[in-house]
């Protein structure tokens, strides 16, 4: 299986990194920001660097949309997996259009309210995962996988 793992740096990336036992068994590629934590954590991994910042930055959002088109068409992964944040939405939209499966994992620290990216990704995700049973109140169809951290 070919996986594209997409996440902002910091805690979003850290939560995907904790799932190494799963993703290390598959062909994979990462999309994140070129920041010190990501550079160090992914030094032996295939990475595409996304445009940063994305919060309230329309030019970078558009650049990341273009990056999503080129990256997904070039790699043709079987699934896009993300914990957010903003960088993941363009990849989910383009993956949906290209009929590539998507899995969104809502972050560890949002137990009783959704993240903006989670709320926007939920309707276009093939699978929504939560880390707490309480997250099913927000995402009724979510699969609770337990804490990733």
- Per the omega criterion (within 30 degrees of 0), is the bond before 85 cis? yes
Give the chain's end-to-end CA distance (angstroms, integer): 24
- Per the omega criterion (within 30 degrees of 0), is the bond before 105 cis? no
Q: What is the pLDDT of residue 54?
A: 82
- Selected from 1.10.150.120, 3.40.50.1220, 3.40.50.2000, 3.40.640.10, the CATH number assigned to the domain covering 2-144 reads 3.40.50.2000
DSSP tag of 60: H
Q: What is the pLDDT of residue 149?
A: 73
Burial 33-65 (b: 16+ CB within 10 A, else e): beeeebeebbeeeebbebbbebeeeeebbebbe
Give the CA angle between residues 91, 92, 94 to the nearest 5°. Answer: 65
Q: What is the pLDDT of residue 39?
A: 98
Asked if 93 contacts 69 with a C-beta cutoff of 8 angstroms, the reply is no
Q: What is the pLDDT of residue 55?
A: 79
Q: What is the pLDDT of residue 90?
A: 96
Q: What is the pLDDT of residue 56?
A: 81
Q: What share of the chain is helix, strand, coil (3-state, %, to 5)?
A: 40, 25, 40
Mean pLDDT by 10-residue block, N- to C-terminus, for the chain (149 residues)? 97 96 97 97 98 88 97 98 94 98 95 93 96 95 90
Q: Name the pTM for this structure.
A: 0.94
Q: What is the pLDDT of residue 57?
A: 87
Bridge partners, residue 47, by sequence = 30
């Amino acid at each position: 299986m070919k996986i594209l793992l997409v996440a902002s740096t910091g805690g979003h990336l850290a939560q995907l990194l904790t799932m190494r036992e799963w993703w290390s068994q598959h062909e994979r590629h990462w999309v994140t920001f070129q920041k010190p934590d990501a550079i160090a954590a992914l030094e032996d991994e295939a990475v595409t660097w996304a445009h940063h910042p994305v919060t309230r930055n329309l030019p970078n959002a558009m650049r990341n949309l273009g990056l999503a088109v080129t990256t997904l068409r070039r790699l043709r992964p079987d699934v896009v997996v993300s914990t957010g944040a903003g960088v993941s939405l363009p990849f989910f939209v383009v993956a949906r259009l290209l009929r590539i499966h998507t899995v969104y994992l809502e972050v560890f620290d949002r137990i009783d309210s959704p993240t903006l990216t989670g709320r926007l990704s939920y309707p276009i995700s093939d699978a929504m995962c939560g880390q707490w049973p309480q997250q099913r109140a927000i995402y009724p169809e979510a699969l609770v996988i337990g804490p990733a951290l």
